[in-house]
């Protein structure tokens, strides 16, 4: 015999399972204040509609959603559940049948949440602009001056205000995009993986040794460099990314190049990725308390190579974005630069067209956001080298001094001598390119 729920039991399920807050927002209600949605889970959410009605929404101790009708004079006008709301505000009398039909299908709650998100986002996009208006910034600026805050502190406030405004606008647009992809950040998982990696030593630092980074150099960063030993990155390195407080947010991973494919399709690929579920900011290796010099670049190995080349001096902070700097990395560059307003900044990018373009882009972004231009210096290696690690390893080929055109013009004997002279500095890809010209 089939057991069917009574209407009373079914209605109790509706009160618990249907998110009344989402339902109301989807039906045109909005938060009275933008901060309402940031309150604790068990606090009332104040919603308004048409400037006249106000509802306070909450879940009770039994998990049932309910609202309190607030009259225009501030007095309470009775409480109700979604069942009362359907009858009083939407004019639906047979609410049990209505809800039963509505909630059919396992995706009901997701659809309701998406509808509520879209309604909220559209409202925010059109109306929630007061928090980030020019008038609001002027209020903050006047208060900061009245408190006697120094100009560098005001620059930091200005940048955080502008960044919050941009992030808010992007978040609203993201809510409106039905095809959005949201990267999940799981810092607990990141830290768990990080704790399982090895501290570099003479027996496991093969990649650092191959890159000509000396033990006395890597030992200057005991908390920021780790050695991986998995099938994806055997004896490669991981370098910590940290926030302004020094907390781990992720790590960039770098390892040996390897062959991919067979026969004529075989190619050399490098291993350069970022930790899954981490937040890519920048490395913060070195003096995070009071740096005298900040190195900014896209490759940690180039920064540490320069650091080694100048004698590993104290007071250096190495900030690598682990690839082309994204928006979060660019913002992090600015935050650190504004935190230390007297520190010199060395833009340590590749000595090629993309590297010069990145350096120019970072310089402009720093300057636009309050970092004094006279603090920022380009820090490219000598013209014969593509980057600082090539310079440390003595690898000129195939850059300016010995270009591919120069190699093509050498006779066979010169090519053999050239190959032998540079052989110990070559990776597999470069060896193949030299052999191609010698033995073709």
| Chain segment 243-274, per-residue pLDDT in tens | 999 999 999 999 987 766 676 666 767 788 89
State the average pLDDT for the chain: 80
Instruction: Examine the domain organization and report whether 251 and 324 are in the same domain.
Output: yes
The structure tokens 């502190």 sit at 153
| 280 in any annotated domain | yes
pLDDT band at 410 (very low <50, low <70, confident <90, very high): very low
Angstrom distance (rounded) from CA 314 to CA 377: 19
Neighbours of 248 (CB within 10 A): 20
pLDDT at 44: 75
Q: Are residue 56 and residue 170 in the same domain, yes or no? A: no
Rounded Cα–Cα distance for residues 294 and 49 (Å):
52
pLDDT score at 233: 86
Pair (147, 43) in one structural domain: no
| 146 and 91, same domain (yes or no) | no
Q: Does 182 map to a domain?
A: no
Percent of the chain with pLDDT over 90: 40
Residue among 406, 273, 308, 294 nearest 345 (CA):
294
Kindly state whether residue 2 falls inside one of the protein's structural domains. Answer: no
Q: Are residues 314 and 404 in the same domain?
A: no
Q: Are residues 150 and 222 in the same domain?
A: no
Say if CB 304 and CB 318 are below 8 A apart.
Answer: yes
Domain final residue, candidates 71, 88, 117: 117
pLDDT above 70 (res 422): no
Q: Does residue 391 form part of some domain? A: no
pLDDT at 435: 55
Same domain, 200 and 344: yes
Confidence at 24, pLDDT banded by 50, 70, 90: confident
Q: What's the domain range around 39?
A: 7-117
Model pLDDT, residue 130 = 66
Picking from 176, 195, 215, the residue at the C-terminal end of a domain is 176
Least confident of 8-12, 396-400, 424-428: 424-428
Q: What's the confidence (pLDDT) of residue 296?
A: 98
**In this model, does residue 199 exceed pLDDT 60?**
yes
Average pLDDT over residues 41-48: 72
In a domain, 124, yes or no: no
DSSP notation for 26-85:
HTT-EESSGGGGGS-TTS-EEEEETTTEEEEEEE-TTS-EEEEEEPTTS-EEEEE-HHHH
Instruction: Tell me what pLDDT residue 374 has.
Output: 96
Flag whether pLDDT at 436 surpasses 60: no
Evaluate whether residue 266 is within a structural domain: yes
Q: Do both 31 and 72 map to the same domain? A: yes
Q: Is the pLDDT of residue 9 over 80?
A: no
Q: What's the whole-number mean pLDDT along residues 375-385?
A: 93
Q: Among 196-205, 373-382, 402-411, 421-430, which is the least confidently predicted range?
A: 402-411
- For the chain, the residue count is 440
Strand order in the sheet with 248-260: 225-227, 237-242, 248-260, 267-274
pLDDT tens-digit readout, 103-156? 665 566 676 777 777 776 666 666 555 677 788 889 899 999 999 999 999 999
Task: Using pLDDT thresholds of 50, 70 and 90, give the confidence band for residue 293.
Answer: very high
Q: Is 252 a member of any domain?
A: yes
Q: Judge if 191 and 332 occupy the same domain.
A: yes
Strand, helix or coil at 294?
A: strand
Final residue before a domain boundary, out of 378, 404, 425? 378
Q: Please state the domain count of the chain.
A: 4
C-alpha span between 9 and 235 (Å, rounded): 61
Point out which residues pair with 46 in neighbouring strands: 56
What is the predicted pLDDT for the residue at 127? 59
DSSP three-state, residue 382: coil
Q: Is residue 386 one of the residues assigned to a domain?
A: no
Q: Are residues 38 and 161 in the same domain?
A: no
My answer on whether 164 and 51 are in the same domain is no
Judgement on whether residues 75 and 102 belong to the same structural domain of the protein: yes
Q: What is the mean pLDDT of residues 50-61?
A: 80
- Percentage of the chain with pLDDT > 70? 74
């Amino acid at each position: 015999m089939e057991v069917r729920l009574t209407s009373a039991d079914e209605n109790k399920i509706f009160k618990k399972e249907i998110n009344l807050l989402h339902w109301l927002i989807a039906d045109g209600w909005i938060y009275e204040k933008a901060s309402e949605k940031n309150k604790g889970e068990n606090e009332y959410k104040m919603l308004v509609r048409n400037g006249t009605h106000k509802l306070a929404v909450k879940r009770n101790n039994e998990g049932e959603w309910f609202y309190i009708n607030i009259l225009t004079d501030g007095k309470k006008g009775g409480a109700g559940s979604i069942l009362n709301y359907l009858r009083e505000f939407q004019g639906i009398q047979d609410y049990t049948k209505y809800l039963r039909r509505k909630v059919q299908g396992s995706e009901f709650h997701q659809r309701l949440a998406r509808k509520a998100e879209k309604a909220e986002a559209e409202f925010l996009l059109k109306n929630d602009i007061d928090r980030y208006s020019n008038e609001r910034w002027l209020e903050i600026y006047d208060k900061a001056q009245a408190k006697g805050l120094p100009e560098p502190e005001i620059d930091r406030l200005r940048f955080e205000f502008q960044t919050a405004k941009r992030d808010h606008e992007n978040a609203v647009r993201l809510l409106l995009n039905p095809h959005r992809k949201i990267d999940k950040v799981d810092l607990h998982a990141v830290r768990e993986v990080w704790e399982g990696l090895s501290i570099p030593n003479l027996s496991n630092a093969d990649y650092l040794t191959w890159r000509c980074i000396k033990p006395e150099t890597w030992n200057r960063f005991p908390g920021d460099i780790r050695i991986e030993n998995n099938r994806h990155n055997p004896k490669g390195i991981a370098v910590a990314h940290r926030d302004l407080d020094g907390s781990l947010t992720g790590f960039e991973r770098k390892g040996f190049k390897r062959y991919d494919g067979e026969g004529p399709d075989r190619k050399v690929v490098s291993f350069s990725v970022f930790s899954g579920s981490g937040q890519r900011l920048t490395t913060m290796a070195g003096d995070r308390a009071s740096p005298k010099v900040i190195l900014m670049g896209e490759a940690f190995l180039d920064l540490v190579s320069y650091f080694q080349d100048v004698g590993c001096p104290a007071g250096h902070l190495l900030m690598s974005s682990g690839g082309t700097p994204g928006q979060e990395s660019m913002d992090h560059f600015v935050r650190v630069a504004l935190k230390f307003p007297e520190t010199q900044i060395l833009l340590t990018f590749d000595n090629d067209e993309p590297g010069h373009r990145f350096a120019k882009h970072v310089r402009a972004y720093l300057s636009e956001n309050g970092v004094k231009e006279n603090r920022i210096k380009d820090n490219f290696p000598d013209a014969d080298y593509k980057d600082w690690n090539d310079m440390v390893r003595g690898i000129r080929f195939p850059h300016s001094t010995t270009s591919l055109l120069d190699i093509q013009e050498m006779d066979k004997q010169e090519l053999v001598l050239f190959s032998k002279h540079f052989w110990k500095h070559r990776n597999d890809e470069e060896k193949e390119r030299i052999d191609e010209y010698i033995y073709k």
